[in-house]
Amino acid sequence: MTHKTVLTIIFGLLFCLCSYGQKAEFQEIDRQLTNNYREMLSAEYQLRSDSLAPAFKNQLLKYLADPITFRNEFDSLTEYLTIQISPDKKIKFYSWDDLTGGTWHHISCVAQFETDSGKIIVQQINSEREAELGDYTDSGVYAVFELNTAIEKLYLTIASGTHGSGQHHQIVQVFRINGDTLLKCNSCFADNKDFVLEYPRSEKANLTFDPVKNMLHYNEFKFDQEVGFCKATGKTISLEFINGVFTRKL
């Protein structure tokens, strides 16, 4: 056996040991996060709200900062959290309901993404003051698309949530990676706001995105003053992404 062959075998064994060690480490992270989330959900409300929910969130954020969690896919945790990955594998969105909001579901959402330099960044997407601000970012991302433009790559997310009273909502947001920050596009929709669709639980929004034509389609709902909630108009609306803005297609 030549000296070169021996070195090749040694390096191969070291690589296998390293890979096995990383896999075992990741599996332990997956196990810990899953067990702690399950423990949080089964706890009494006050304990969950005051202690376990914040503790789980802090633990998740700590582990997501580790590149090993970006390079691997959770087997157990994905049964409890909604984890969505962009087509180019550059961004992951983690959403979960800590069951502390009652009928107004308190859904947290964080993004884990890779910068051009290969650095892994974790950033919270939902606001902590939804009730105060009246926004709808306390929603779980269930779809991620790439929105390619002539200038840069954007990422479009569709998320859903509920603020109770039989009303659901869906929210569309557009992001781009800018250095170590995930920036939201505040000019991609009318009035420099997120696109939000509110509708009764008994109805279907049918909100979809066509990544080939860069178009959003959805059932239209309008607020009815007499009944006090949104009602379907029977129309299907289409918004096309033109010159950096989603514009209603006539």
Model confidence at 106: pLDDT above 90: no
DSSP bridge partners of 166: none
Are 217 and 99 in the same domain? Answer: yes
Mode of pairing for the β-strands spanning 167-178 and 181-184: antiparallel
pLDDT at position 227, please?
Answer: 73
Are 99 and 56 in the same domain? Answer: no
Are 203 and 187 in the same domain? Answer: yes
User: Confidence band (pLDDT; 50, 70, 90) for 4?
Assistant: low
Which of residues 80, 109, 135 is at a domain's end?
Answer: 80
pLDDT at position 77, please?
Answer: 97
Q: Is there a contact between 180 and 224 (Cβ–Cβ < 8 Å)?
A: no
pLDDT at position 7, please?
Answer: 47
Are 20 and 120 in the same domain? Answer: no
Are 106 and 184 in the same domain? Answer: yes
Are 87 and 118 in the same domain? Answer: yes
Are 34 and 86 in the same domain? Answer: no
Domain tally, the chain:
2
Q: Is there a contact between 139 and 84 (Cβ–Cβ < 8 Å)?
A: no
Which of residues 80, 104, 126 is at a domain's end?
Answer: 80
Model confidence at 197: pLDDT above 80: yes
pLDDT at position 16, please?
Answer: 45
User: Among 105, 91, 234, which Cα is nearest to 173's?
Assistant: 91
Are 154 and 59 in the same domain? Answer: no
Structure tokens at 95: 């959403």
Q: Which amino acid, 63?
A: Y
User: Among 193, 197, 136, 195, which Cα is nearest to 163's?
Assistant: 136
Q: What is the pLDDT of residues 5-56, one digit of tens each?
A: 544 444 444 444 445 567 899 999 999 999 999 999 999 999 999 999 999 9
Q: CA 75 from chain center: how many Å?
A: 17
> CA–CA separation, 211 vs 145, rounded Å?
7
Structure tokens at 10: 């040694």
Which of residues 45, 80, 115 is at a domain's end?
Answer: 80
pLDDT at position 3, please?
Answer: 54
Q: Which residue segment(s) compose the domain that 204 sits in?
A: 82-250
User: Confidence band (pLDDT; 50, 70, 90) for 190?
Assistant: confident
Are 108 and 93 in the same domain? Answer: yes
Q: What is the DSSP string of 125-159?
A: -S-S-HHHHT-----EEEEEEEEE-SS-EEEEEEE
Q: What percent of the residues of the chain are helix, what percent strand, and what percent coil, each to the nearest 5?
A: 30, 40, 30
Q: What is the pLDDT of residues 144-182, one digit of tens each?
A: 999 878 788 999 999 999 988 888 999 999 999 999 999
Q: Which amino acid, 154?
A: L
Measured on CA atoms in the order 39, 135, 225, 221, is the torsion positive or negative?
negative
Are 71 and 94 in the same domain? Answer: no
Are 145 and 249 in the same domain? Answer: yes
pLDDT at position 15, please?
Answer: 42
Return the higher-pLDDT residue of 169 and 127: 169
Structure tokens at 212: 């080939």
What mean pLDDT do residues 117-133 have? 81
Q: What is the pLDDT of residues 46-105, one digit of tens each?
A: 999 999 999 999 999 999 999 999 999 999 999 999 999 999 999 999 999 988 877 788
pLDDT at position 6, please?
Answer: 43
Mode of pairing for the β-strands spanning 215-224 and 229-242: antiparallel
**Helix spans in the chain (H):** 3-42, 45-47, 53-64, 67-71, 130-133
Q: What is the pLDDT of residues 211-239, one digit of tens each?
A: 999 999 999 999 888 777 888 999 999 99
Are 48 and 105 in the same domain? Answer: no
DSSP bridge partners of 112: 92, 122
